[in-house]
Amino acid sequence: MQRKFRLTRSEDFKRVRRSGKSYAHPLVVLIVEKNLQGNLRIGVAAGRSAGTAVRRNRAKRLLREAMRTLTPSLASHADLILIARSGLASATLADTRSALLNLLQRAQLISPPA
């Protein structure tokens, strides 16, 4: 994921967590909040419930790679936080991508395939 698409400041994470709308999947939780800047920013997190440091880092890498291919087709006016759940570290890239597609369609950030 390119640097310009990243959500990095802790104040931004707190704002999105506090006032955003969340969508859950067994592998990932998506939190969405509209922003006024007009650009898409994505933050990735994995708590201790996702496993050891190695498993958390793998989960975050999977989320970043799956989002990299989906970013061009997303609506460009939102801040997103992706939170890894415990099963994500053992999932494949295809499983991760399908989970993200499901969540993004439910959040109406991407149109469903025809």
- pLDDT single digits (tens) 75-99: 778 889 999 998 888 899 999 999 9
Max Cα separation, the chain?
A: 39
* Prediction pTM value: 0.88
**Angle at the Cα of 97 (from 108 to 48), degrees rounded to 5?**
100
Cα separation, 16 vs 32, in Å, equals 7
Partners of residue 34 on adjacent β-strands: 78
pLDDT in tens, 39-84: 888 999 998 988 899 999 999 999 999 998 888 888 778 889 999 9
Of residues 101, 105, 103, the one with CA closest to residue 93: 101
Q: How confident is the model at residue 36 (pLDDT cuts 50, 70, 90)?
A: confident
